[in-house]
């Protein structure tokens, strides 16, 4: 019966959010939640998004269902943004955020006969939960040498031997969460060769396009991989790139042979039907309006460029600091919202309890959430514990 349900442990990130909210100190610093914050500490609504919403309010004539696949114009535009012309040959379906797209992809892989998904470690903390919920086995794979702060390609590719043909490997397209460490073009090519040699499927997670080096630059490597592999599953989130976190904008794309596409679409439709039935519309409609209107698209690109420049400035400021043995200089070479510091649990607890600075238990910090005015105090706190 329901009354016999055991108490589940809180999600690690949600735990940090609760601790931060309950801390009465006015100078506390939140580096846990993965959202962009401006100089004032706010997460603003982009101008292009506001303008798109005004257009929708004035012009939208119905709130009926958008259909099982979702907004096909949104899918076309977001696909082109991410994959260029090759997106025309991908099967696509709208999802409930990037997380929902990952779950759809995992369920599809299970239906196709996959038994396990390789997870390069450290990974986004929700990846293992999604894989297990889809009744697949998560296989941890060494990915990053924290001591040397570099990607260990030999260890990662060597771990593929623990998977079987038809299994998948989750690869983050850009702005890695939690490391900020991205693959080079040559590394993407090596990954494609290794996947093809073992019959494994690339499961690409694209959540931060435009937060690293630029809209096209951030997906150049993933496009190299997608051009070289016969099959791939790609989860896309629009939350960060358009600043519409709560709208849950996502999509799943599948690369497969032309003869297999109808079956893939039918399976995705069946999975979605049994899960949420029809996708939400508002967030996808916003993205569609922004990307289909030249003026709105230009406005969005300008503001996204400003966000990326802000993140890069923060990284440069942190990298210029000298904090005992911490490799602060490497933060400038990393990309996107996140970096992970080599701190232990005791140091992280002191930062929270003594200094009011909150990060995840794994010492991931949201660089994009650090206000410039808070950098000196953050650095001094690091010096006190490192």
Residues labelled as active-site residues = 124, 205, 207, 240
The pair of structure tokens assigned to 32 is 């846990």
**DSSP percent split of the chain into helix, strand, coil, nearest 5:** 50, 15, 35
d(CA 181, CA 174): 8
- The gap between the terminal CA atoms of the chain, to the nearest Å, is 49
Burial zone of 312 (CB within 10 Å; 0-12 exposed, 13-18 middle, 19+ buried): middle
Spatial CB neighbours of 112, under 8 Å, sequence gap ≥ 6 = 166, 267
Residues 6+ apart with CB under 8 A from 218: 173, 174, 175, 208, 209, 210, 211, 212, 335
Nearest-10 Cα torsion for 253, 256, 261, 266: -60
Question: Quick one: 150 exposed, middle or buried, by C-beta within 10 A (0-12, 13-18, 19+)?
Answer: exposed
Nearest to residue 254, comparing CAs of 78, 93, 76? 93
Tell me the residue ranges of DSSP E strands in 135-276: 137-142, 144-145, 150-151, 168-172, 201-206, 232-237, 249-255
CA 371, CA 41: separation in Å to the nearest integer?
Answer: 6
């Amino acid at each position: 019966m329901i009354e016999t349900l055991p108490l589940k442990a809180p999600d690690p990130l949600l735990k940090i959010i609760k601790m931060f909210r309950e801390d009465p100190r006015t100078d506390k610093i939140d580096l846990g939640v993965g959202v962009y914050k401006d100089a004032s500490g706010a997460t603003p609504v982009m101008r292009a998004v506001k303008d798109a919403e005004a257009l929708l309010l004035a012009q939208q004539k119905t709130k009926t269902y958008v259909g099982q696949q979702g907004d096909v114009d949104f899918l076309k535009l977001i696909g082109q943004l991410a994959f260029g012309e090759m997106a025309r040959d991908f099967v696509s379906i709208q999802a409930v955020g990037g997380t929902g797209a990952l779950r759809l992809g995992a369920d599809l892989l299970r239906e196709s006969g996959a038994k396990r998904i390789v997870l390069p470690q450290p990974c986004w903390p929700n990846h293992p939960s999604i894989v297990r919920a889809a009744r697949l086995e998560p296989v941890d794979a060494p990915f990053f040498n924290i001591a040397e702060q570099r990607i260990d390609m030999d260890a990662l590719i060597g771990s593929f031997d623990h998977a079987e043909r038809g299994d998948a490997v989750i690869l983050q397209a850009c702005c890695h969460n939690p490391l900020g460490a991205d693959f080079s073009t040559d590394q993407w090519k090596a990954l494609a060769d290794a996947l093809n040699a073992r019959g494994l499927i690339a499961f690409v997670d694209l959540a931060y396009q435009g937060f690293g080096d630029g809209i096209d630059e951030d997906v150049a490597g993933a496009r190299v991989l997608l051009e070289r592999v016969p099959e791939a599953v790609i989860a896309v989130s629009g939350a960060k790139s358009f600043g519409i976190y709560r709208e849950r904008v996502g999509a799943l794309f599948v690369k497969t042979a032309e003869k297999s596409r109808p079956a893939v679409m039918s399976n995705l439709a069946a999975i979605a039907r049994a899960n949420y039935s029809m996708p939400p519309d508002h967030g996808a409609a916003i993205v569609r309006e922004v990307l289909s209107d030249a003026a709105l698209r230009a406005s969005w690109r300008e503001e996204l460029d400003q966000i990326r420049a802000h993140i890069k400035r923060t990284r440069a400021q942190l990298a210029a600091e000298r904090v005992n043995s911490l490799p602060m200089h490497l933060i400038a070479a990393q990309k996107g919202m996140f970096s992970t510091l080599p701190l232990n649990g005791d140091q992280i607890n002191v930062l929270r309890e003594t200094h009011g600075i909150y990060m995840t238990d794994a010492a991931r910090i949201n660089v994009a959430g650090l206000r410039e005015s808070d950098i000196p105090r953050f650095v001094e706190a690091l010096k006190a514990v490192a």
